[in-house]
Amino acid sequence: MSTIFEKIVAREIPASIIYEDELVISFLDINPNNKGHALIVPKKKFVNIFDSDEMVLGHMMHIAKKIAQGLVDGVGATGVNIVMNNGEDAAQEVFHAHLHVIPRYPEDGVFQRPKTKTYEDGEAMKLAEEIKNAIA
Protein backbone atom coordinates (compact mmCIF):
# COMPACT_ATOMS: atom_id res chain seq x y z
CA MET A 1 0.00 0.00 0.00
CA SER A 2 1.37 3.41 -0.88
CA THR A 3 1.80 6.20 1.64
CA ILE A 4 -0.22 9.40 1.48
CA PHE A 5 2.92 11.16 0.25
CA GLU A 6 3.47 8.60 -2.54
CA LYS A 7 -0.10 9.38 -3.62
CA ILE A 8 0.81 13.08 -3.76
CA VAL A 9 3.93 12.29 -5.81
CA ALA A 10 1.77 10.23 -8.20
CA ARG A 11 -0.86 13.03 -8.34
CA GLU A 12 -3.48 10.61 -7.05
CA ILE A 13 -4.45 13.13 -4.37
CA PRO A 14 -4.08 16.91 -4.52
CA ALA A 15 -1.49 19.00 -2.71
CA SER A 16 -0.32 22.61 -2.77
CA ILE A 17 3.00 21.85 -4.45
CA ILE A 18 5.70 24.51 -4.18
CA TYR A 19 8.79 22.70 -5.50
CA GLU A 20 9.69 19.50 -7.32
CA ASP A 21 12.77 17.96 -8.90
CA GLU A 22 13.83 14.41 -9.76
CA LEU A 23 14.51 13.47 -6.11
CA VAL A 24 12.07 15.40 -3.91
CA ILE A 25 8.73 17.12 -3.82
CA SER A 26 7.65 19.92 -1.48
CA PHE A 27 4.10 20.93 -0.67
CA LEU A 28 2.19 22.73 2.08
CA ASP A 29 1.28 20.77 5.20
CA ILE A 30 -2.48 20.26 5.34
CA ASN A 31 -2.52 21.11 9.10
CA PRO A 32 0.08 23.86 9.31
CA ASN A 33 1.70 25.01 12.53
CA ASN A 34 1.85 28.38 10.77
CA LYS A 35 0.53 29.25 7.31
CA GLY A 36 3.18 28.37 4.74
CA HIS A 37 4.40 25.32 6.73
CA ALA A 38 5.97 23.13 4.04
CA LEU A 39 7.03 19.49 3.86
CA ILE A 40 9.94 18.16 1.82
CA VAL A 41 9.50 14.53 0.85
CA PRO A 42 11.75 12.09 -1.04
CA LYS A 43 9.97 10.83 -4.16
CA LYS A 44 11.40 7.35 -3.64
CA LYS A 45 10.09 6.43 -0.22
CA PHE A 46 12.26 5.80 2.81
CA VAL A 47 10.64 5.72 6.23
CA ASN A 48 12.81 8.13 8.18
CA ILE A 49 16.43 9.03 8.90
CA PHE A 50 17.32 5.47 9.92
CA ASP A 51 16.77 3.87 6.51
CA SER A 52 17.43 7.04 4.53
CA ASP A 53 19.35 7.39 1.31
CA GLU A 54 22.05 9.78 2.56
CA MET A 55 22.43 11.56 -0.75
CA VAL A 56 18.69 12.26 -0.92
CA LEU A 57 18.64 13.23 2.76
CA GLY A 58 21.36 15.79 2.07
CA HIS A 59 19.42 17.07 -0.91
CA MET A 60 16.31 17.47 1.25
CA MET A 61 18.28 19.79 3.53
CA HIS A 62 19.60 21.69 0.52
CA ILE A 63 16.01 22.27 -0.63
CA ALA A 64 15.00 23.17 2.94
CA LYS A 65 17.42 26.09 2.73
CA LYS A 66 15.85 27.23 -0.54
CA ILE A 67 12.31 27.01 0.88
CA ALA A 68 13.33 28.69 4.14
CA GLN A 69 14.65 31.62 2.14
CA GLY A 70 11.43 31.61 0.07
CA LEU A 71 9.35 31.85 3.24
CA VAL A 72 11.41 34.84 4.37
CA ASP A 73 11.48 36.60 0.99
CA GLY A 74 8.02 35.59 -0.22
CA VAL A 75 5.72 35.67 2.79
CA GLY A 76 7.69 37.67 5.34
CA ALA A 77 8.67 34.97 7.83
CA THR A 78 11.25 36.23 10.31
CA GLY A 79 12.50 32.79 11.34
CA VAL A 80 12.13 29.15 10.30
CA ASN A 81 12.13 25.84 12.20
CA ILE A 82 13.33 22.75 10.35
CA VAL A 83 11.98 19.59 12.00
CA MET A 84 12.23 15.90 11.19
CA ASN A 85 10.30 13.41 13.33
CA ASN A 86 11.91 9.98 13.22
CA GLY A 87 9.97 7.10 14.78
CA GLU A 88 6.68 6.83 16.63
CA ASP A 89 8.21 8.00 19.93
CA ALA A 90 9.46 11.11 18.15
CA ALA A 91 5.91 11.93 17.01
CA GLN A 92 6.30 10.61 13.45
CA GLU A 93 2.81 10.01 12.07
CA VAL A 94 3.44 9.56 8.35
CA PHE A 95 5.99 6.81 7.78
CA HIS A 96 7.43 8.29 4.63
CA ALA A 97 10.34 10.56 5.54
CA HIS A 98 9.85 14.32 5.47
CA LEU A 99 11.34 17.55 6.68
CA HIS A 100 8.99 20.18 8.07
CA VAL A 101 9.92 23.77 7.19
CA ILE A 102 7.86 25.95 9.51
CA PRO A 103 7.80 29.73 9.05
CA ARG A 104 7.94 31.75 12.26
CA TYR A 105 6.88 35.27 13.19
CA PRO A 106 7.46 37.43 16.27
CA GLU A 107 5.47 36.24 19.28
CA ASP A 108 3.56 33.65 17.20
CA GLY A 109 3.49 31.18 20.11
CA VAL A 110 3.78 28.19 17.78
CA PHE A 111 6.11 26.16 20.00
CA GLN A 112 6.59 26.20 23.75
CA ARG A 113 10.19 25.77 24.89
CA PRO A 114 10.65 22.02 25.40
CA LYS A 115 11.18 20.76 28.97
CA THR A 116 14.83 20.31 29.89
CA LYS A 117 16.56 17.71 32.08
CA THR A 118 19.56 17.95 34.36
CA TYR A 119 22.70 15.77 34.28
CA GLU A 120 24.18 14.32 37.46
CA ASP A 121 27.91 14.91 37.99
CA GLY A 122 29.88 13.06 35.29
CA GLU A 123 26.76 11.76 33.57
CA ALA A 124 27.07 13.93 30.44
CA MET A 125 30.73 12.84 29.98
CA LYS A 126 29.78 9.16 30.32
CA LEU A 127 26.89 9.53 27.90
CA ALA A 128 29.06 11.42 25.41
CA GLU A 129 31.56 8.54 25.54
CA GLU A 130 28.82 5.97 24.90
CA ILE A 131 27.46 7.89 21.92
CA LYS A 132 30.98 8.52 20.59
CA ASN A 133 31.70 4.78 20.74
CA ALA A 134 28.40 3.95 19.07
CA ILE A 135 29.14 6.14 16.04
CA ALA A 136 32.85 5.34 15.75
- Binding residues for ligand AMP, rule: CB under 6 A, are 4, 15, 29-31, 39, 85, 91-94
Rounded to whole angstroms, the Cα distance separating 19 from 22 reads: 11
Query: C-alpha angle with apex 117: 124 to 49, nearest 5 degrees?
Result: 75
Three-state DSSP class for residue 121: coil
**Sign of the dihedral defined by the CA atoms of residues 118, 122, 123, 127, in that order:** positive
Is 98 an annotated catalytic residue? yes
Give 94 or 110: the residue with its C-beta nearer to ligand AMP: 94
Residue 72 CA to residue 80 CA, distance in Å, equals 8
Nearer to ligand AMP, 4 or 57 (CB): 4
Least separation in angstroms between residue 13's CB and ligand AMP is 6
Of 37, 96, 98, 100, the active-site residue reads: 98
Strand ranges (DSSP E) for 3-78? Answer: 17-20, 24-28, 38-42
Residue 81 or 92 having the CB closest to ligand AMP:
92
Min dist. Cβ of residue 14 to ligand AMP (A): 8
Task: Output the smallest distance, CB 129 to ligand AMP, in A.
Answer: 31
Cβ closest to ligand AMP, residue 31 vs residue 112: 31
Task: Please state the closest distance from residue 18 (CB atom) to ligand AMP, in A.
Answer: 12
> 74-89 as b/e, with b when 16 or more CB fall inside 10 Å?
eeebeebeeebbeeee
- The residues annotated as belonging to the active site are 98
